[in-house]
Amino acid sequence: MRQPDKRDQGQTGPVARARLVKMGNSQGVRLPRLFLEQAGLDEEVEMEVLDGEVIIRLVPRPRRNWEKEFDGMTARGDDRLLDSKAFSLTGWDEEKWVW
């Protein structure tokens, strides 16, 4: 009986085989564009070996995708100041102060 792998545990997506390619003193694998796009990989990645598997992941960047998220906030109307009432003017500000 074959051992279940991660695909049997709900992980879905395309599966591909690749050959290791000599690159100087190292070897590398070419990743299909579809894999790069689906994983959101760009120029720099982190790699680790865990239980005999090589794991490639995005380098953590705290502000990744902020621009897209801000655009979504604007579309939903969530980009207004939450503390605008805290800055309400006093009677003196409204009547006597010259702006």
CA 50/CA 3 separation, integer angstroms: 17
Name the token pair of 58: 């995005």
Q: Residue length, the chain?
A: 99
Residue range 53-65, pLDDT digits in tens = 999 998 888 887 7
pLDDT at 2: 46
Residue range 12-61, pLDDT digits in tens = 677 889 999 999 999 999 999 999 999 989 889 999 999 999 999 988 88
C-alpha to C-alpha distances, 31 to 9, 10, 39, 60, nearest whole angstrom? 23, 22, 11, 20
Average pLDDT, the chain: 81
Domains of the chain: 16-78 (2.10.260.10)
pLDDT at 1 exceeding the cut of 50: no
pLDDT at 33: 92
